[in-house]
C-alpha cells in the first residue's frame, strides 16, 4: 500500500532533561510547541488519504502538553488510528500518580507508551520514575517499551535495569512477537556532534563487521516528523534539527500533500531512500578523497549526521550531486512511498467529494 503509514509529532522542543546528543532540545532555541489545532488539521489531512495507521507523540517531552496531550490522543483514537507517546517519565513521581495518568490516557485511546531510560536521561530524571511508569503500564494493561541507549562504560545497563526493576527485561526483537510489557529496545548511542561534543570526543569502538549503517533507508518519507516549528522532516531517525537536507518544507507555508510531492522529487530524499547514506559517502569520497570520513558507524542515522554536518560534504554535493539524478529517477518505481499517481488519486478524490 502506498502512502504515509506513520506520522510523528515532535510536539515541543522543551524537556525537563538536557541529554547529551539530544537533537531537539537546546537552551539556545526559543520555546516552540505544536498546538492541538495544528495537529488535528494535519491528522485530518493524512487520515483522508486512507493509509495512516499510527500517530506518535514525542518531543522534547510530550507530557509537557498537559491536557492537550489527552485531547489529541482522544482525537486520533476516535478515527481508529493507533497512538504512541514517547516520554522520560518525569511525571511519574509515584506509582499511584503514574497509574492515574496512564489510566486516563488509555481510556482515551492510547495504544502504547515508550519510556526512555539510560545514563543520559537518568542524569536528570530519577530512575524510580521510570520504574513507576513501567509498573503502572503493566498493572493497567498498557503496552510499554523501554528505550535504552548504551553509554560507553555506563552504569545503567540492561542487566542493571532488570535488577533495579526486579523483573527480567526481554530484549525487543524486530519482526518477531514481543511481550507487551517489561520489554526493552537497547542500542548504541548515536553520536551527534556539536561545539560542546566534538567528533574526537566519541569513545565508541565500533566492530568492523557492523553493517547497520549500510544500504537504503526504508524510513525516508514513510515515517515523517512534524517539528515544533511546523517543518516537515523526511524520516523519524535521530538527526540534528539543524540539517536542512532532511527537511522538505514547512506547514506554515504549504499543505502536507504538496510538501510530500515536493519531497518525492527531492534528490537527497531519493538517494537516501533508494541507496542510503553509505552510497552518498562513497560518492563523496570518489569526488574528493581528501575528505576524511570514518570507516565505521553505529547505524545510518550516525552516518547521515556525519555527512550533513560537514560543510566540505555539502560543497561536493552542490557541485556534483546532479550526476546521480537520472539513475535515481529510474530506480524510483521500486519505492513504496507517496508517489505521483497516488497523490493524483488523492487530489481527485478530495476535489470530487
pLDDT digit string (tens) for 188-201?
877 776 545 555 55
Residue spans of the domains in the chain: they are 6-189, 267-352
Superfamily for domain range 6-189:
Aldolase class I (3.20.20.70)
CA dihedral 84→86→89→92, nearest 10 degrees, is -20
Q: CA angle, corner 92, sides to 120 and 178, nearest 5?
A: 70
Q: Helix (H, G, I), strand (E, B), or coil: what is residue 194?
A: strand
User: Looking at the DSSP assignment, which residues form a beta bridge with residue 112?
Assistant: 84
Helices 67-77 + 36-47 axis angle, to 10: 10
Locus of grid cell 539524478: 325
Locus of grid cell 530484549: 171
Q: Say what percent of the chain tops pLDDT 90.
A: 59
The x, y and z cell numbers of residue 44, run together, are 485530518
Mean pLDDT taken over the chain: 87
| DSSP symbol at 197 | B
Note the pLDDT tens digit of each residue in 160-175.
999 999 999 999 998 8
Highest mean pLDDT: which range of 2-6, 65-69, 256-260: 65-69
pLDDT band, very low/low/confident/very high, at 344 (cuts 50, 70, 90): very low
Amino acid at each position: 500500500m502506498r502512502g504515509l503509514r506513520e506520522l510523528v509529532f515532535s510536539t515541543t522542543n522543551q524537556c525537563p532533561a538536557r541529554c547529551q546528543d539530544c537533537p531537539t532540545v537546546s537552551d539556545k532555541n526559543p520555546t516552540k510547541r505544536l498546538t492541538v489545532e495544528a495537529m488535528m488539521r494535519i491528522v485530518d489531512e493524512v487520515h483522508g488519504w486512507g493509509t495512516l495507521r499510527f500517530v506518535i507523540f514525542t518531543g522534547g517531552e510530550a507530557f509537557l502538553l498537559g491536557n492537550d496531550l489527552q485531547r489529541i490522543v482522544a482525537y486520533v483514537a476516535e478515527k481508529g488510528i493507533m497512538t504512541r507517546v514517547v516520554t522520560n517519565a518525569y511525571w511519574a513521581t509515584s506509582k499511584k500518580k503514574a497509574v492515574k495518568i496512564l489510566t486516563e490516557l488509555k481510556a482515551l485511546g492510547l495504544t502504547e507508551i515508550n519510556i526512555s531510560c539510560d545514563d543520559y536521561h537518568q542524569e536528570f530524571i530519577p530512575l524510580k520514575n521510570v520504574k513507576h511508569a513501567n509498573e503502572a503500564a503493566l498493572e493497567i494493561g498498557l503496552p510499554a517499551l523501554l528505550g535504552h541507549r548504551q553509554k560507553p562504560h555506563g552504569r545503567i545497563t540492561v542487566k542493571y535495569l532488570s535488577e533495579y526493576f526486579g523483573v527480567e527485561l526481554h530484549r525487543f526483537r524486530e519482526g518477531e512477537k514481543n511481550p507487551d510489557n517489561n520489554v526493552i529496545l537497547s542500542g548504541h548511542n548515536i553520536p551527534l556532534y556539536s561545539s560542546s561534543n566534538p567528533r574526537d570526543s566519541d569513545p565508541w569502538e565500533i566492530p568492523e563487521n557492523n553493517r547497520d549503517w549500510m544500504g537504503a533507508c526504508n524510513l525516508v518519507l514513510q515515517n515523517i516528523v512534524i517539528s515544533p516549528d511546523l517543518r516537515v522532516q523526511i524520516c523519524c531517525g535521530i538527526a540534528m534539527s539543524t540539517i536542512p537536507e532532511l527537511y522538505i518544507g514547512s506547514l506554515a507555508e504549504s499543505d502536507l500533500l504538496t510538501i510530500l510531492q515536493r519531497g518525492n522529487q527531492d534528490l537527497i530524499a531519493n538517494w537516501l531512500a533508494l541507496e542510503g547514506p553509505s552510497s552518498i559517502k562513497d560518492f563523496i569520497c570518489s569526488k574528493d578523497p581528501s575528505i576524511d570520513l570514518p570507516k565505521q558507524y553505529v547505524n545510518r542515522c550516525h552516518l547521515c549526521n556525519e555527512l550533513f554536518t560537514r560543510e566540505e560534504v555539502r560543497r561536493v554535493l552542490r557541485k556534483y550531486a546532479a550526476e546521480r539524478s537520472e539513475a535515481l529517477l529510474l530506480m524510483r518505481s521500486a519505492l513504496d512511498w507517496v508517489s505521483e499517481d497516488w497523490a493524483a488519486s488523492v487530489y481527485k478524490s478530495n476535489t470530487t467529494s
